[in-house]
Amino acid sequence: MRKSATIFTSMAFFLCAAPVVAAEYSFSFVTNQPLFGGPVDGSGIFTTSDTPMTVGGETAFAVTSITGMVNGSAIAAPTGNYGNYFTTGGTFLDGSGLRFFTAAGNDIRFFFQDSVGRYRVNTFSPGSSSFVTAMSAPVLGAVPEPGTWATMILGFGAIGLSLRRSRQPSMVRARA
């Protein structure tokens, strides 16, 4: 009876645990055609929500945070008014793109300009606009931290100990 309760409780914990599926994507962009102002380059990581939605006919995930650098200045995000989405189609940004700020106070707009089929970055203060070569890729998962390993090993040890300590009723046969 006790073993059944332990197994049932363990299964309930496994079934109730919510998986973490928020994704991280690295990105980078470099000016390939300045329109006005100076060149712009940047790189960093987008973190997205785990809830898919449809934006412009494509599956998209809301961007929840951005870290990285633009022209040597750290990205100071999130802004709290994103409305920004990372799409899973042929381009990773749509026409509304991403808006964020840097520590130097630059207002950055990074988007895909549908009319010409190219990525573009506009900056305000100082003002510039450039078509950029952009790329994005999923960030590979890291190796679990030592604390995670310790917790996992302790859990397996506790399960082993509980199984070892459980006593099986012994049957004694009487000879006549």
Interval 31-73: pLDDT, tens: 999 999 889 899 998 888 888 888 777 788 888 888 899 999 9
Match 């042929």 to its residue by tokens: 90
Overall pTM > 0.75? no
- Tell me the domain boundaries of the chain: 24-138
For residue 147, report the phi and psi dihedrals to the nearest 5 degrees. -65, -35
Helices (H), 95-145: none
- Cα–Cα distance between 97 and 100 in angstroms, integer? 10
Structure tokens at 37: 């102002």
∠ CA 21-24-30, rounded to 5°: 160
Higher-pLDDT residue of 57, 82: 57
In the predicted structure, residue 74 carries a pLDDT above the cut 90: yes
Partners of 135 in the β-ladder: 28
- CA–CA distance, 26 with 28 (Å, rounded to integer): 7
3-state secondary structure at position 171: coil
